[in-house]
Amino acid sequence: MEASIDGAASTIKYANPSQRNYIPLIYFNAYVHDIQMQLMLDTGANRTFISQKALNSLRSSKIINQIQREVFLADGYTSIMVYGEVDLSFIMNNIRTSIRALIVKNLCVNCILGMDYIIK
C-alpha cells in the first residue's frame, strides 16, 4: 500500500510511510536505587513505568500506593494493569533525579521513562 507524503491528493508517494519517519528507540543504562538497569525513553508514554521483576530487584523501594487499575496506552485500545506506584531514584551521568513510576507486570525493559520524566 502506498501513502502520500503531503496529503491525500498528493502525487508524491512512498511505498512504506513508516520507514520514512523512522525514529530509533532510545535505550540506556542507569542506576536505579544503586542497581544498574536498562531503561527506555518513550516520548509516546505519558507516565513512567517499572516492571514488577525490576522492582523486586531493588532493595530500598517502597510501594507508595498499592492500587490495581487498568490504564490505556496511546492507541486508545490497548490496556495494561497497574499494580501500584513507587518513587524511584535514578543516577545518570552522575546526576541524581527521581520520579514516581507506575508498577506493571511486564515490560520490554526494566523501566520506561515517559513524558512525566522528560518534562520534569
2-24 tens-digit pLDDT: 444 444 444 555 455 555 566 77
> In whole angstroms, what is the distance from residue 93 CA to residue 58 CA?
20
61-84 tens-digit pLDDT: 778 888 899 988 878 888 899 999
Number of alpha carbons in the 13 Å side-chain half-sphere of residue 102: 23
For the domain covering 24-118, report its CATH number: 2.40.70.10
Strands (E), 15-104: 26-32, 35-41, 49-51, 63-65, 69-72, 79-92, 95-104
Instruction: Assign 119 to helix, strand or coil.
Output: coil
Write down the pTM of the prediction: 0.76
- Say which residues have a Cβ less than 8 Å from residue 46's Cβ, sequence separation at least 6: 114, 115, 116
Task: Find the range with the poorest average confidence among 19-33, 71-85, 106-120.
Answer: 19-33
